[in-house]
Amino acid sequence: MIEPDLRDLILAKPERLLEDRDVMNALVSANERAMGANIVDLRGIAMQRLETRLDRLEDTHRSVIAAAYENLAGTNQVHRAVLQLLDPTSFEGFITTLQGEVAQTLRIDIVRLVLETAQDEAEADPALRKLGEVLQIGPRGHVAQYLTNGRNMAVRPVVLRPVTGLAATVYGPRAPDIRSEALMKLDLGRGRLPALLAFGSEDPHMFKTSHGTDLLAFFAGVFERLMRQWLK
């Protein structure tokens, strides 16, 4: 016989049993054992299936919420980085901010801005050398070749991927440390050759082909407009 105090408590507040999944599962199992092996409890089977579906819905719900928070955090990071790019009053300060504050805000290990040029001696320009390693000079067609990894295919405006064998042409001596990268093709205006903004990470999972590119496309759009202003 059930304990009198426990029985009185259950009768007084039966909803507590209904809200406790473990207790309800134990009661259903006890009921099935009491009926014997030759009787199929369709109601119990239905409850098990509903419980399984509920577990899946809860997992999906948690995943959606986690993705929403992650997306919100990424949006806030990009917005802060854009505001940081708007502060400098010189092009040198703009480049310094890009490889300093902006890189820290976006949690990336290396930034490279690749400009194409038709001049063979462009790398010897003292003004360019003054800007440091963040600014790289490449020949005409270098941006498209790097974005496509040398393959004959359409050039996408934003590419997320593991680094390829061409990484040294952008990251130089640091290429062996970079495991994944985000590449943004830049349109610097009519009459100018294309450019490339490259974010490199030592984390192989930082930039994956399955990730969304909307925020990076927004950042690239802001960046290329600022570059046009500096190049006037």
- The CA distance from 137 to 152, in Å, is 23
pLDDT attached to residue 202: 95
Looking at the DSSP bridge assignments, the partners of residue 135 are 113
Once rounded to an integer, what is the mean pLDDT over residues 52-75?
72
Rounded to an integer, what is the distance from CA 96 to the centroid of its chain? Answer: 24
Tokens read off for 145: 């070749």
Q: What percent of the chain has pLDDT over 90?
A: 46
* Choices 3.90.25.10, 3.30.450.40, 1.10.10.10, 1.10.8.350: CATH for 78-230: 3.30.450.40
**pLDDT of 36 above 60:** no
Q: What is the CA angle 20-63-46, rounded to 5? A: 40
Q: How far is CA 65 from CA 57, 60, 70, 71, in A?
A: 12, 9, 9, 10
Q: What is the value of pTM for the model shown?
A: 0.69
Mind listing the pLDDT tens digit for each residue in 105-121?
999 999 999 999 876 55
Looking at the DSSP bridge assignments, the partners of residue 214 are none
pLDDT attached to residue 31: 64
pLDDT attached to residue 56: 80
pLDDT attached to residue 66: 59
Q: Where in the chain is the domain with CATH 3.30.450.40?
A: 78-230
In 145-222, at which residue ranges do the beta strands (DSSP E only) sit? 158-162, 180-186, 195-201
Percent helix, strand and coil across the chain, each to the nearest 5: 55, 15, 30
